[in-house]
Amino acid sequence: MNTKILLLASAALWLACSACLSCEPQGDYRDAGAGAAPDAGAAGQDRLLRAPDPDNPDNEHLDSDCDGLSDAEEFGNSYPGGGQTDPADPDTDGDGIEDGVEVGRTASVDPSCQNFSGDSDPATVTDPTNADTDGDGTADGAEDTNHNGRVDAGERDPLNPADALVTPAADCPPLSEIPLAMAVARDADLRFAVAKRTPDAFGETTTVTSTTQGHPAIGLMGYDAASAVAYLVVTRPTAAADAVAEEQAVRAAVQEIGAIDTPITYAFTTWDGFAAARATYGMAGGRGAKAQANAIARALASDASHLLAVAQDTPANASYQVAVEVVRRSAQRTVVAVALVPSDRAVGAAAMSLLDLTDGSALARYSDVTARQCERQAIQDNARVDILWTIDNSVSMADEQAAVAAGAAALKARLDRAAIDWRIGAVGSGFYNPRNPALGCTNLSCGPTLQQQCRAFTTDIDEFTHWLTQTQPSWIGAGGDCNQPREEMIRSAQLMLSSGTGLASYMPAQQNADAMHLRQDAHLVLIMIGDADDQYYLDGDLPAGIDEYEAFFRGLPVASFTTGGILCPDGSCGETQRTPHVATGLVNRFGGVLGSLRDLASIGPTVDAIVDRVATDVSPYALSKNAISSTIQVVLPPDSTVGSCDWSDVPRDRTSGFDYDSRHRTIAFFGNCRPLASSPPGVIAISYRYWVECPPGRCVCDVEQLECGPAYRVDEASCACTCRANCGDTCDPELECNQSLCACLPRGG
């Protein structure tokens, strides 16, 4: 046999449902290369256990779409107006409530449908073929907001037209107003949702294929000519032990084609439970937007083909704003989503588009589908937020402190635009044991002197600026008589948040707190800035030390705790670092924002990102489902905001509008569009699309469809192909098995 390289595919092919009968598209879905398809919108169309057959004699015992109605009922029953439910769609009328729940079913006749939750009030029924049973202008699912078939506290009755608001349009935005384009790549187990807010949005799409693996799909790409935003989603072999390290590996690959600056990152968990990391940064260009995206695609997958056509590309741009999402789906396979826009156009809707494409909400697996939701929430008071800066006040930190001080006015403006009631305090890294008590250095009290190693809470941004300004009497210091060369940023913050130490403390929290106490029911934010790692724990105790820090902060009597850091990214700051890195590790444990201290220009954007994250973290407006962020529409009552705002369609804008945090499913308001609390409270209406995951029991593995090949064995539990030992003895004598790739490669190659 002639010598050849036999690339058989990756060591573990796409996981659960990539070979399910349920994965067969039932609506107008097609590969992105033919143009992104409109989403059929119904929950569960891709989750069928089998294709419904009107002639199947067992239909009385089958429930193909697992909606609580047997296939016999769905083929045979009619409703007012002659409508029938669809046995291939669990929510025929698209109102968000499953057909069986609408007609009072409490269980499915099909034992395979264990996830059908049933009707909580089977004595009341609605029409499963009419999205608005009582005709009051509001969908049934917008009145029964938890979709359980019962009128619960705070809900309206989908059978009572008298409880409609005077203006239904102000109650719930039209559920179909924003079309959703769905790009899909079955071989890559990808589904990518993009809202089409204009008819031509992301009109150019393509399916990325591999030139070395028989041309299977390995990803998707798209381009919006109006905004010059390009995106790519590719699968690639996993290269690192966790999502944070995986993002660093992706960054290393990408920066080969363009220098990167101002990296800001955070770790999170995707809506479907995968470990992930997100990063933003500036990137050198020299190419058009589509050419830049193509170069990144090849950097991530060197064999990528069928990329964006570079005809009608933008002119070459010197730099780009780039957002990256890295999802570690398994030890073998990682998904990377990248969105970019020329830096001079990274404002307004284009900037939000980068967020929508990489915040985790656009990405799903091939077998997942979308459903619609509309819910109403009462306007609430602004959340209270206490922000504690823990500051490395060693001699090397003067410039970095000055950089924060220089951005203090912008920080105040950003805080004031957010719907939060904020205060700022500070503690130095030597608070744990200041040197030279004979010179007045102390941790027994907080105050505005260089000798005092902590500061009381304030809302005066000028006062905060003075803490970080060397020429001011209240400067917290950078070196000097009181500084400890052993920096303990986190330990010092821990002591300030502990009771009974005999030292100055913000504890216990108080309802009507003074400046030296945390406020009860306030959210606590810890921001670390330092070029050296926390040095409290000995080297051998570092893993346990991070665990102890995490347990302490999680146990604090506060409404919530989050942290962010402006830290040395890779030990290159010339100061003491630890392995593992304590401060970075703690921030990642809480999914906080991380920025680089090495570049002074990155400090301001990192602080902005932390504040934006805080605003959404603490928002009281949590959605009941995992929204696809680009589809969200928000309606506020007239005259309910602090300033002029388009109440009928609140803009997606962090200056004056709303934003969404996919990690916590929260909506936050900014600027003039911040709602005013009132009595009785006004009501916010929010509509959106959300993902429905293909769950166990609704997805059957079709072993033959896997087509594993002789080098693989079938793992029915995960519905995947996994590599046999020694590639199943399929390699020619002159080749050897690379087990991680499940590929036959030249010996020694």
Show Cβ contacts of residue 416 under 8 Å, excluding neighbours closer than 6 positions: none
Query: Is pLDDT above 50 for 568?
Result: yes
pLDDT score, position 137: 74
Instruction: Give the mean pLDDT of 81-110.
Output: 90
Instruction: Give the mean pLDDT of 602-628.
Output: 93
In terms of phi and psi (left: phi > 0; alpha: psi -120 to 50; beta: otherwise), the region of 174 is beta
pLDDT score, position 4: 26
Instruction: Give the mean pLDDT of 69-95.
Output: 90
Per-residue pLDDT band at 19 (split at 50, 70, 90): very low
Is 730 within 8 Å of 744 (Cβ atoms)?
A: yes
Q: Does residue 182 sit in helix, strand or coil?
A: strand
Query: What is the spatial distance between Cα 271 and Cα 255, in angstroms, rounded to a whole number?
Result: 29
pLDDT score, position 699: 52
pLDDT score, position 30: 28
Give the C-alpha distances (Å, rounded to integers) separating 394 from 120, 415, 450, 529.
61, 28, 13, 11
Q: What is the pLDDT of residues 529-565, one digit of tens each?
A: 999 899 999 989 999 999 999 999 999 999 999 999 9
Assigned token pair, 381: 């008071």
The three-state DSSP-derived secondary structure of 336-380 is EEEEEEEHHHCCHHHHHHHHHHHCCCCEECCCCEEEEEEEEEECC
Query: Is pLDDT above 70 for 121?
Result: yes
Residue 587: what residue type?
Answer: V
Helix runs in 339-482, H state only: 348-358, 398-406, 408-417, 461-467
pLDDT score, position 177: 61
Hey, what's the torsion of the CAs at 48, 54, 56, 60, to 10 degrees?
A: 80
Query: Is pLDDT above 90 for 694?
Result: no
Is 712 within 8 Å of 719 (Cβ atoms)?
A: no
Q: What is the pLDDT of residues 241-290, one digit of tens each?
A: 999 999 999 999 999 999 999 999 999 999 999 999 999 999 999 999 99
Q: What is the pLDDT of residues 730-747, one digit of tens each?
A: 999 888 887 766 778 888
- Residues 228, 234, 239, 245, CA torsion sign: positive
| Range from 19-28, 293-302, 324-333, 385-394 carrying the lowest mean pLDDT | 19-28
Query: What is the spatial distance between Cα 709 and Cα 690, in angstroms, rounded to a whole number?
Result: 36
Q: Give the rounded percent of residues in the chain with a pLDDT score beyond 90.
A: 63
Q: What is the pLDDT of residues 397-430, one digit of tens each?
A: 999 999 999 989 989 999 999 999 999 999 999 9
In terms of phi and psi (left: phi > 0; alpha: psi -120 to 50; beta: otherwise), the region of 719 is left
Query: What is the spatial distance between Cα 633 and Cα 175, in angstroms, rounded to a whole number?
Result: 9
pLDDT score, position 572: 65
Is 372 within 8 Å of 41 (Cβ atoms)?
A: yes
Give backbone dihedrals phi and psi of 371, rounded to 5 degrees, phi first.
Answer: -135, 170
- Most confident listed range (45-54, 60-69, 697-706): 60-69
pLDDT score, position 8: 29
Instruction: Give the mean pLDDT of 649-668.
Output: 94
Unique residue bearing structure tokens 């150019």: 204
CB atoms within 10 A of CB 254: 21
Assigned token pair, 463: 């006062």
Query: Is pLDDT above 80 for 700?
Result: no
Q: Which helix (H) or strand (E) holds 75?
A: helix 71-76
Query: Is pLDDT above 60 for 351?
Result: yes
Is 118 within 8 Å of 168 (Cβ atoms)?
A: no
- Residues 429, 432, 436, 437, CA torsion sign: positive
Q: What is the pLDDT of residues 181-210, one digit of tens each?
A: 889 898 898 999 988 888 889 999 999 998
Q: What is the pLDDT of residues 285-341, one digit of tens each?
A: 999 999 999 999 999 999 999 999 998 999 999 999 999 999 999 999 999 999 999
Q: Give the rounded percent of residues in the chain with a pLDDT score beyond 70.
A: 87
The overall average pLDDT reported for the chain is 86
Assigned token pair, 94: 């698209």
Instruction: Give the mean pLDDT of 342-368.
Output: 94
Hey, what's the torsion of the CAs at 29, 233, 631, 47, to 10 degrees?
A: 40
Q: Which residue has the higher pLDDT, 723 or 576?
A: 723
Report the chain's C-alpha Rg in angstroms.
28
Per-residue pLDDT band at 480 (split at 50, 70, 90): confident
pLDDT score, position 368: 83
Per-residue pLDDT band at 15 (split at 50, 70, 90): very low
pLDDT score, position 641: 95
Query: Is pLDDT above 50 for 9?
Result: no
pLDDT score, position 172: 62
